[in-house]
Each structure stands twice: as structure tokens, then as C-alpha cells.
């Protein structure tokens, strides 16, 4: 019908990413205000605010069961949160920042780092692109990983073996999203 049921208000800056949980009962929003919020889709109400990042949240996603959410921020961290409590469970990645005058500036990431979200252990590096990786996702079964790149290609990896099983080439410009 095109009818708007709810307008979710509460962030103090732009919303840059969002995701539904697998049950479609919660909506998560990530914002330039450094927070993520969880919203009850049926009631149109805020359920929780996830505080802990010191810079914009630019990516977020629920796990396959919907009891955890992962957020990525320009503060160079990735955090795993418990959906029921809204508390941070694990700081998955803490990337080095370049604040010393002698250090080289950050380079675009041409690869994907694969981490165990429970333990925070680095599992593998998937490298195949000639320009920065702009998006990555798992398939619904967790068997494959897809990447999208500014080099105009996408790749599909076997999540178990970490081997590239498909090179998708043919776009003339960057691929910004993959699903």
C-alpha cells in the first residue's frame, strides 16, 4: 500500500547504515552520531542504544540467529554486541591508527580480514582485488563470502577453505555493494 507505519527518530546525526534481524522484528540503525540503535518494528519504539564507538558507525549486521549484532566504525574498531542487553561482548578488531608524523598514511584495504567473532582471533586474509574492497557479506548458510571492489570486480570465496571460487568481472566502474 505504500503506507508509512513508523518514523524512527532518535539519532542526532545522519543514519548511514541499517539492517533487519533475521526474524524482521528488529531494525538496527548506525549513525554519524557514533551510536547504533535497535528498534522494535511492530511497536515503532527504540529498544536499545549501543554506545562505545568514538567515531561514525559505517556498517552493521546481525548474525544468523539475531542474538548478536556487529558494528564497524571509523574509529578503527569492530564490535560485537549482545542484542538482548545492548552490551558490547567483544572488541573484534582494533586497527592501528596513524597519528605519528613518521608513519605512512593509511592505505586503502585491498583485502578482507576474516575474524572469529566470539574469540576475536584472526582466521585468514582474503586478497585478490587491485583496488579497495568496498563491501563484503556471507551467504545465508555461512558457506561463502562475497566481496565487492573499486576495481569493478566481485569475488566469491569458500568460507571453509578460504579459496576464491569465482571471479565476477565485467563492470566498468566500482561495485559498491554485494549481497
> What confidence tens digit (pLDDT) does each residue in 168-177 have?
999 999 998 8
| pLDDT number for residue 168 | 95
Q: What CA–CA distance (Å, rounded) separates 33 from 56? A: 6
| pLDDT number for residue 98 | 47
Is beta strand 26-31 parallel, antiparallel or unpaired with respect to 36-40?
Answer: antiparallel
Query: What is the residue-wise DSSP string for 86-123?
Result: --EEEEEEEPPP--STTSPPPPPP-EEEEE-TTT--EE
Confidence of residue 141 (pLDDT cuts 50, 70, 90): confident
| pLDDT number for residue 103 | 42
pLDDT digits 0-9 by tens, 99-116:
444 444 455 678 888 888
Instruction: Determine the average pLDDT of the residues in 60-70.
Output: 91
| Residue 95 clears pLDDT 80, i.e. is over it | no
**Total residues belonging to the chain:** 179
Which CATH code is given to the segment(s) 15-96+109-134? 2.130.10.10
Confidence of residue 93 (pLDDT cuts 50, 70, 90): low
| Residue 94 clears pLDDT 60, i.e. is over it | no
pLDDT digits 0-9 by tens, 16-35:
999 999 999 999 999 999 99
Q: Are 72 and 59 in contact (CB under 8 A)?
A: yes
- CB neighbour class for 111 (10 Å; exposed up to 12, middle 13-18, buried from 19): middle
Amino acid at each position: 500500500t505504500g503506507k508509512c507505519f513508523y518514523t524512527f527518530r532518535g539519532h542526532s546525526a545522519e543514519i548511514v547504515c541499517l539492517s533487519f534481524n533475521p526474524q524482521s522484528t528488529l531494525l538496527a540503525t548506525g549513525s554519524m552520531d557514533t551510536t547504533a540503535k535497535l528498534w522494535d518494528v511492530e511497536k515503532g519504539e527504540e529498544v536499545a542504544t549501543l554506545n562505545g564507538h568514538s567515531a561514525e558507525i559505517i556498517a552493521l549486521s546481525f548474525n544468523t540467529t539475531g542474538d548478536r549484532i556487529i558494528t564497524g566504525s571509523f574509529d578503527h574498531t569492530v564490535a560485537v554486541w549482545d542484542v538482548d542487553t545492548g552490551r558490547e561482548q567483544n572488541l573484534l578488531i582494533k586497527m592501528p591508527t596513524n597519528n605519528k608524523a613518521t608513519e605512512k598514511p593509511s592505505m586503502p584495504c585491498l583485502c578482507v580480514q576474516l575474524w572469529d567473532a566470539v574469540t576475536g582471533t584472526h582466521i585468514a586474509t582474503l586478497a585478490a582485488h587491485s583496488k579497495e574492497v568496498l563491501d563484503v557479506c556471507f551467504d545465508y548458510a555461512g558457506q561463502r563470502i562475497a566481496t565487492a571492489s573499486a576495481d569493478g570486480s566481485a569475488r566469491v570465496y569458500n568460507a571453509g577453505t578460504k579459496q576464491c571460487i569465482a571471479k565476477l568481472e565485467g563492470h566498468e566502474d566500482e561495485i559498491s555493494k554485494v549481497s
